[in-house]
Amino acid sequence: MTRNVAVIVGSLRKDSLNRKVARALVAHAPASLACAFVEIGGLPLFNQDEERDPGPAGVAFRDAVRACDAVLFVTPEYNRSVPGVLKNAIDLGSRPYGHSVWAGKPCAVVSASSGGIGGFGANHHLRQSLMFLDMPAMTQPEAYIGGADKLFGADGKPVDPATGEYLAKIMAAFAAWIDKTAA
C-alpha cells in the first residue's frame, strides 16, 4: 500500500541544509512512500480572527496536509527551538479548534545542523507540539544529523555511502511506523 507523505521543511533559505537533507531522505525512501513537499514560506501569519478563512495559501496548505497519510518534518534549530515559520504552519494547520489537519497523522522528525548536536533542541521542542496535536511521532531511530554541512555535496546528495544507508534506515523505519500507527 502506498502512503502519501507531506514533507515539511522548517527552513526557507534557498540553499538550505535542511532542504538538502529532506531531498536526500525522499530519495532514499522506500517505494511505499509517495513523498511530496508542502511549502510553508508563503503562509499568512496565523491570526485567530482569520482562522476559519486563512486565505488561499492557508486553505491550500491545510488541504495538502489533510490529504496526506503522514508527515515528515525536517527542521533546523533556531535558539533551541523550531523556526518561527514552522511553528506558524503548525498553528495554522491546527485551527479552527476541532478541525486540525494534523490529528492522528503519524510523523517523523529529522533535525540537521552544521553543529555537533544536530538540532537536538528543535527536534525535542517540536515533539512537544506534536504530542499535543495527537500526532504519533516515530521514536526510533532518533534523527539528529550533526555536521550535516560536511555530509552532503553541492548537488545535495550524500558524499559517502554510510550517510545514504542511514537515511534509508530512517525512511524504512518511518514506513513501518506509518503502517503500525496510521488510522
pLDDT at 23: 96
Indicate if the alpha-carbon torsion angle 54, 57, 58, 59 is positive or negative: positive
- Residue 91 has φ and ψ, to the nearest 5°, of -65, -45
Query: Which domains does the chain carry?
Result: 3-181 (3.40.50.360)
Instruction: State pLDDT tens for residues 135-161.
Output: 999 999 989 999 999 999 888 899 999
> What are the DSSP E strand ranges found in 10-96?
33-37, 70-75
How far apart are alpha carbons 150 and 114 in whole angstroms? Answer: 8
The H or E element containing residue 95 is none
Average pLDDT, the chain: 94
What average pLDDT score do residues 7-17 get? 93
Taking 3-state DSSP, the helix, strand and coil percentages for the chain, each rounded to the nearest 5, stand at 40, 15, 45
pLDDT at 156: 87
CA distances from 87 to 10, 29, 40, 82 (A): 9, 26, 10, 7
CA nearest 85: which of 16, 133, 150, 166?
16
How far apart are alpha carbons 90 and 20 in whole angstroms? Answer: 22
Q: How confident is the model at residue 183 (pLDDT cuts 50, 70, 90)?
A: low
Q: What is the pTM of this model?
A: 0.96
What average pLDDT score do residues 36-46 get? 97
How far apart are alpha carbons 132 and 79 in whole angstroms? Answer: 22
How far apart are alpha carbons 72 and 10 in whole angstroms? Answer: 11
Which grid coordinates belong to 159? 558524499
How far apart are alpha carbons 71 and 173 in whole angstroms? Answer: 14
